[in-house]
Copies of this chain bind each other. A is one copy, B any other.
Amino acid sequence: MGIRRLLVGQSGGPTAAINASLAGVVETARALGIKTLGMRHGVEGLLEEDVVDLDLTLPTAAHLQLLRQTPASYLGSCRFKLPDMMADPAPYRDLFSYFDINGIDAVLYIGGNDSMDTISKLAAYGEATGSSVRFIGVPKTIDNDLEGIDHTPGFGSAAKFIATSVAELARDASVYDLDNVLVVEIMGRDAGWLAASSVLARQDGLGAPHFILTPEAPVDEAALVDAVADRMGETRTVVLAVSEGARRPDGSLMCEPPTGAIKVDAFGHAAALSGTGRYLAGLIGGRLGLKTRAVELSTLQRCASHLASATDLAEASALGGTAVRAVADGLTGKMPVIRRTGDRPYTVEYGLVDVADVANKERHIPRAWITPDGLDVTSEFVEYVRPLVAGEVAPYCVDGLPHHIPAL
Do the beta carbons of B204 and A406 come within 8 Å of each other? yes
- Asked if A250 lies at the interface with its beta carbon under 8 angstroms from chain B, I say no
* Size category of the binding interface on chain A: 35 or more
Given A204-B406, A278-B269, A300-B165, verify A172-B14 contact (CB < 8 Å). Answer: yes
- Asked if A134 lies at the interface with its beta carbon under 8 angstroms from chain B, I say no
- Asked if A201 lies at the interface with its beta carbon under 8 angstroms from chain B, I say yes
Task: Output the least CB separation between A210 and chain B (Å).
Answer: 14
Query: What residue in chain B is nearest A205 (Cβ atoms)?
Result: B406
Query: What residue in chain B is nearest A77 (Cβ atoms)?
Result: B175
- Considering only residues 289-309 of chain A, those with a C-beta below 8 Å from chain B are 293-296, 298-300, 302-307, 309
Do the beta carbons of B269 and A282 come within 8 Å of each other? yes
| A264–B41 CA distance with the chains assembled, in angstroms | 40
- Asked if A6 lies at the interface with its beta carbon under 8 angstroms from chain B, I say no
Given A72-B175, A296-B296, A401-B160, verify A273-B267 contact (CB < 8 Å). Answer: yes
Protomer copies: 2
| A2–B366 CA distance with the chains assembled, in angstroms | 65
For A165, list chain B residues within 8 Å (CB).
Answer: 300, 304
For A177, list chain B residues within 8 Å (CB).
Answer: 40-41, 44-45, 76, 78
| A41–B176 CA distance with the chains assembled, in angstroms | 7
For A282, list chain B residues within 8 Å (CB).
Answer: 267-269, 272
- Asked if A358 lies at the interface with its beta carbon under 8 angstroms from chain B, I say no
| A391–B400 CA distance with the chains assembled, in angstroms | 5
In the complex, per-residue mask of A305-316: 1 if CB is within 8 Å of any chain B CB, else 0: 111010100000
Do the beta carbons of A407 and B176 come within 8 Å of each other? no
| A298–B186 CA distance with the chains assembled, in angstroms | 14
- Asked if A390 lies at the interface with its beta carbon under 8 angstroms from chain B, I say yes
**20 residue pairs from A and B, CB less than 8 Å apart:** A14-B172, A71-B168, A72-B174, A73-B175, A160-B401, A164-B401, A167-B404, A168-B300, A169-B298, A169-B300, A172-B303, A204-B403, A206-B406, A264-B264, A269-B282, A272-B294, A309-B400, A389-B400, A389-B401, A394-B394
Q: Contacts A164-B401, A174-B407, A267-B283 given; 19 further ones with Cβ under 8 A?
A: A10-B175, A41-B176, A70-B171, A71-B171, A72-B172, A76-B176, A78-B176, A78-B177, A79-B176, A160-B401, A163-B400, A171-B404, A203-B401, A203-B403, A206-B406, A269-B282, A272-B273, A296-B298, A311-B400
